[in-house]
Chain A
Amino acid sequence: MANNHKEIVFGLYNDEEDLIRAVKEAKSAHLDIYDVFTPFPLHGLDPVLGLEESRLHIAGFIYGALGTLTAFLGMTWIFTKDWPNVFGGKPYWSVPAFIPITFELTVLFAAIGMTVTFYIINGLGPGVVNQHLDDRITDDKFCLAFDKGSVSEEKAVSLLKQTGAVEINHKTL
């Protein structure tokens, strides 16, 4: 396990605009950024950081389609094969009446599937303890972190200083 430890050097900024500028600087200096931590979602950070668009919504579509099929095929099988019954003189396979439940299950499957996927791929969940760099990151500090394994400490510290980090700290994760 000792090999998995990461030596992190990180800077804290008071303002998100400073952080975004620092990320741009780091990118143009070809420094490998370990991660960026912020108290709220920053718009404009993803392209600067080079994050690809999340594919979570594609997963959502697949879960939704699964819900549609489950509901529609399920009701079709039940009312035509397993338990054919006449309700109010309507045909066994009364498609319009299946629409509300098909819709509800589409939404239900998509929502549950996406949310569960979200927590799993992020490594989050009840009881998970993720070590974090600083307690103030969820309050008012914006954090840019480098892994000393892939970036020289000197370069990282000088970049953090230049770009106006108000604090520079080290931590082993």
Chain B
Amino acid sequence: MSAVVSPIRRPLITGNKTYHQITEDLISPTEKAPTRAWTIGLIISVAVLSYGVFCILWTIYVGIGSWNLNRTVNWGWDITNFVWWIGIGHAGTLISAILLLFRQKWRTGVNRAAEAMTIFAVMCAGLFPLIHMGRIWLAMFILPYPNTRGPLWPNFNSPLLWDVFAISTYLTVSLLFWYTGLVPDFATVRDRAKGMRRKIYNFLSFGWTGSAKHWQRWESLSLVLAGLSTPLVLSVHTIVSFDFATSVIPGWHTTIFPPYFVAGAVFSGFAMVLTLMIITRKLLKLEDYITVEHIESMNKVILVTGTIVGVAYLTELFIAWYSGYVYEQFAFFNRALGPYWWSYFGMMFCNVISPQLFWKKSWRRNITLTFLMSIFINIGMWFERFVIIATTLARDYLPSSWGLYSPSWVEIGIYIGTFGLFFTCYLIFTRVAPVVAVAEVKSVLKTGGNQYVGENATHKHHHEHH
């Protein structure tokens, strides 16, 4: 129907938007009084967060003995949750960086919220190694700096220290990338505001004017940050997998870990993006910006990465058998049929079997099914990390030292508390900043919108000629 839109692509922005309408739709949620749903959500999140803070303080006061870790299973829910949250963060960077490099225009609808999710998820993740140290007040010992402890440095050969660098770099770069994208949008909020609100948003917008040279540099910066973030995000989960893969524990000591962890991270991250986006688009009425097209695109990514994860699970099994190494064979036999068999089958069902539904187009485009699936995948990927960590440790080389592990109320409380942290941050974010990148959506309106109705809409002229 219009000459500006490629006939083979479905529109990314629906509903006859003009530039001004986009501003109205995307900025007004930050201007109105909070809705009832938001307020209730925030109260619940803060309550859950407070309980998590209590459990963390309890851990610090009583010590790690308040957790059910034992000499055999010395990594449990803490590291499971750490890897799970880090993985969730990966989707944000994938959407904002890798899809920018591949010029995927649909990223503009979801990149802002996905990047915010990345930052909050990495914050939740970083908490676990810190409190697992036991003496959190000595946490700065992990940083290499000239110190009065003699010449005493951290071990740069240790994957745990690589993790420190990877995750702090990841958090920093994600924050810079996200905020640089927000600056022009904060300027839009500022220019609609009055009084104190205007002053606050001017502060947040860094005095942005929209000058041509600034935009040029902004695009250059975004592109380079995307180029840097792409290998960075792959390195982060690679290094997280090194925490396991460089050890000599059967079931951990495998070269398949880095690619399989990265695929799993993207898989779980997209599931969390979908969980959040399906709720956000409904509550903030963003159906014209986060369309079924976006959901379908993300479901395709889920199908691909879920299948990669499935192939990795099967490859692991095959290689364990083929290696002829009894300890490796036992590790995998134990995962599937040992005391934690239920988590193994939970993982297989949620991560490998259930995403296969998305081969069917109409199911990929079904919002209810997608929402349910995203929850399944979040659970399945948590099981995956639990399977890798706890079941492997519980059955080590010496049967006399075999143990079992289940979490204490403190560990459960801390995990639940991170949801409080995550949703508190996310809810505040939806009130303070536009959850869809306003300037970026405007920049794809003419090529990605369905019915651009501005002055120079090409299809209008097109119709006039006929």
Residues on A close to B: CB < 8 A? 14-15, 17-18, 35-43, 45-46, 49, 51, 54, 56-57, 60, 64, 74-75, 78-79, 82-83, 85, 87-88, 90, 94, 97-98, 100-101, 103-105, 107-108, 110-112, 114-115, 118-119, 121-130, 132, 135-140, 143
Residues on B close to A: CB < 8 A? 18-20, 23, 144, 151-153, 155-159, 161-162, 165-166, 168-169, 172-173, 176-177, 180, 183-184, 187-188, 190-192, 202-203, 206-221, 223-225, 228-229, 231-232, 235, 239, 242, 439-440, 442-443, 454-456
Q: Which of A43, A64, A100 contacts B166 (CB 8 A)?
A: A100
B215-A42 in contact (CB<8A): yes
B165-A104 in contact (CB<8A): yes
With A75-B156, A139-B23 already in contact, the answer to whether A118 and B221 are too (CB < 8 A) is yes
Q: How far is the CB of B178 from chain A (nearest CB, A)?
A: 11
The 10 closest A-B pairs by CB, nearest first: A128-B207, A140-B19, A135-B191, A130-B207, A97-B157, A41-B215, A104-B165, A124-B206, A40-B439, A140-B20
Q: Which of A85, A94, A108, A132 contacts B209 (CB 8 A)?
A: A132
Give Cα A127–Cα B200 distance, bound, in whole angstroms.
9
B202-A105 in contact (CB<8A): no
B188-A111 in contact (CB<8A): no
Q: Which residues of B contact A57 (CB under 8 A)?
A: 220, 223-224
Q: Which of B166, B188, B207, B455 contacts A39 (CB 8 A)?
A: B188
Q: B210 — nearest CB in chain A belongs to which residue?
A: A37
Number of A-B contacts (CB under 8 A): 189
Q: How far is the CB of A108 from chain B (nearest CB, A)?
A: 4
Give Cα A40–Cα B439 distance, bound, in whole angstroms.
5
A-B contacts, 30 listed (Cβ < 8 Å): A18-B455, A38-B210, A39-B210, A39-B439, A40-B184, A41-B443, A42-B212, A42-B215, A42-B443, A46-B216, A51-B216, A54-B220, A57-B223, A60-B224, A78-B144, A78-B153, A94-B157, A98-B156, A103-B235, A105-B165, A107-B229, A111-B173, A122-B217, A124-B207, A125-B207, A129-B202, A130-B208, A130-B209, A138-B188, A140-B19
Q: How far is the CB of A17 from chain B (nearest CB, A)?
A: 5
Q: Which residues of A contact B151 (CB under 8 A)?
A: 82-83
Q: B163 — nearest CB in chain A belongs to which residue?
A: A100
Q: Which residues of A contact B210 (CB under 8 A)?
A: 37-39, 132, 137-138, 143
A15-B207 in contact (CB<8A): no
Q: Which of A15, A124, A130 contacts B455 (CB 8 A)?
A: A15
A126-B206 in contact (CB<8A): yes
Give Cα A49–Cα B214 distance, bound, in whole angstroms.
13
A41-B156 in contact (CB<8A): no
With A14-B454, A35-B211 already in contact, the answer to whether A110 and B224 are too (CB < 8 A) is yes
With A111-B172, A136-B191 already in contact, the answer to whether A82 and B153 are too (CB < 8 A) is yes
Q: Which of B162, B176, B223 contacts A115 (CB 8 A)?
A: B176
With A78-B144, A108-B172, A139-B188 already in contact, the answer to whether A122 and B214 are too (CB < 8 A) is yes
Q: A127 — nearest CB in chain B belongs to which residue?
A: B203
Give Cα A135–Cα B20 distance, bound, in whole angstroms.
12
Give Cα A36–Cα B212 distance, bound, in whole angstroms.
5
